[in-house]
Amino acid sequence: MANELAAYSELRARLKRVHVLGSVGGLLGWDEQVNLPPAAAAQRGEQMALVAELVHAEATAPALGAALAACEAAPAGALDEEASVVVAAARRDFDRATKLPAELVSEKARLSSEAYHAWAAARAARDFAAFAPYLEKHLALARREAELLGYGERPYDLAIDRHDPGLTAARIDTLFTELRAGLVPLVRRIDARAEAARARGEAPLALKGFDIAAQRELVRRVTERIGFDYGRGRLDVSLHPFCEGSGDDLRLTTRFDADNPLDALYSSIHEAGHGMYEQGLPREHAGTALAQAAGMAAHESQSRLWENQVARSRAFWRWLGPELRAAFPGPLAGVSEEQLHAAANAVEPGGMIRVDADEVHYNLHILLRFDLEKRLFAGALRVAELPAAWDALCEELFGRRPAHAGEGVLQDVHWSGGAFGYFPSYTLGNMMAAQLWAAARARLAGIEENFSRGEFGRLLGWLRAEVHARGRREDAFALTRRVTGEDLGAKALLAYLEERYG
Amino acid sequence: MANELAAYSELRARLKRVHVLGSVGGLLGWDEQVNLPPAAAAQRGEQMALVAELVHAEATAPALGAALAACEAAPAGALDEEASVVVAAARRDFDRATKLPAELVSEKARLSSEAYHAWAAARAARDFAAFAPYLEKHLALARREAELLGYGERPYDLAIDRHDPGLTAARIDTLFTELRAGLVPLVRRIDARAEAARARGEAPLALKGFDIAAQRELVRRVTERIGFDYGRGRLDVSLHPFCEGSGDDLRLTTRFDADNPLDALYSSIHEAGHGMYEQGLPREHAGTALAQAAGMAAHESQSRLWENQVARSRAFWRWLGPELRAAFPGPLAGVSEEQLHAAANAVEPGGMIRVDADEVHYNLHILLRFDLEKRLFAGALRVAELPAAWDALCEELFGRRPAHAGEGVLQDVHWSGGAFGYFPSYTLGNMMAAQLWAAARARLAGIEENFSRGEFGRLLGWLRAEVHARGRREDAFALTRRVTGEDLGAKALLAYLEERYG
Question: What confidence tens digit (pLDDT) does each residue in A395-406 have?
Answer: 999 999 999 999
CA distances from A293 to A77, A236, A288, B183, B338 (A): 26, 23, 10, 64, 64
The region of weakest confidence among A272-281, B258-267, B331-340 is B331-340
Q: Show residues of chain A in contact with B54, CB under 8 Å.
A: 21, 54
This prediction has a pTM of 0.94
pLDDT for res B2: 57
CA atoms within 13 A on the CB side of A231: 2
Q: What are phi and psi of A243, to 5 degrees?
A: -130, 130
Angle value at C-alpha A228, between A225 and A229, nearest 5 degrees: 105
The kind and range of the H/E element at B6 are helix B6-34
Residue B1 clears pLDDT 50, i.e. is over it: no
Mean pLDDT of chain B: 95
Single out the residue of A15, A146, A2, A5 nearest to residue A89, CA to CA: A15
Residues 6+ apart with CB under 8 A from A370: A172, A176, A423, A424, A427
Q: What are phi and psi of A8, to 5 degrees?
A: -70, -40
State the pLDDT confidence band at B117, using cuts at 50, 70 and 90: confident
Q: pLDDT digits over B278-314, tens only?
A: 999 999 999 999 999 999 999 999 999 999 999 999 9
Catalytic residue among A145, A271, A300, A359: A271
Query: Which pLDDT value is given to residue A344?
Result: 95
pLDDT at B349 over 50: yes
Question: Which of B40, B234, B247 lies nearest to residue A249, judging by beta carbons?
Answer: B40
- Contact between B86 and B472 (Cβ < 8 Å): no
Cα B106 to Cα A121, B101, B102, B162, B208, distances in angstroms: 49, 9, 6, 18, 47
**Is the CB of residue A30 less than 8 Å from the CB of residue A245?**
yes
Report chain B residues whose CB lies below 8 A from the CB of A17.
50
Report the candidate in B204, B499, B200, B173 with the shortest Cα–Cα distance to residue B351: B204
Q: Are B373 and B155 in contact (CB under 8 A)?
A: no
Q: Letter for the amino acid at B78?
A: A
Question: Where exactly are the structural domains of chain B?
Answer: 1-99
- pLDDT computed for residue B350 by the predictor: 85
SS (H, E, C) B222-284: HHHHHCCCHHHEEEEECCCCCEEEECCEEEEEECCCCCCHHHHHHHHHHHHHHHHHHHHCCHH
- Section B421-432 average pLDDT: 97
- Interface of chain A against chain B, CB under 8 Å? 17, 20-21, 23-24, 27-28, 31, 35-40, 42-44, 46-47, 50-51, 54, 229-234, 247-250
* pLDDT given for residue A1 in this prediction: 47
Determine the pLDDT at residue A2.
57
Asked whether the beta carbons of B415 and B136 are under 8 A apart, the reply is: no
Q: Are A43 and B234 in contact (CB < 8 Å)?
A: no
3-state secondary structure string across A181-228: HHHHHHHHHHHHHHHHHHHCCCCCCCCCCCCHHHHHHHHHHHHHHHCC
Lowest-confidence segment of A146-155, A397-406, B53-62, B241-250 by average pLDDT: A146-155
> Catalytic site residue B271?
yes
pLDDT per residue as tens digits for the range B156-209: 999 999 999 889 999 999 999 999 999 999 999 999 999 999 899 988 888 999
What pLDDT does B151 receive? 84
Please provide the distance, in angstroms rounded to a whole number, between the alpha carbons at the two ends of chain B. Answer: 58
- Helix axis angle, A261-280 to A212-226, nearest 10°: 30
Helix ranges (H only) for B100-199 are 102-125, 128-149, 155-163, 169-199
Chain B positions touching A24 (Cβ under 8 A) are 24, 28, 47, 50-51
H-helix or E-strand spanning residue A157: helix A155-163
pLDDT of residue B109: 84
Point out the residues of chain A with pLDDT beneath 50: 1
d(CA A283, CA A248): 8
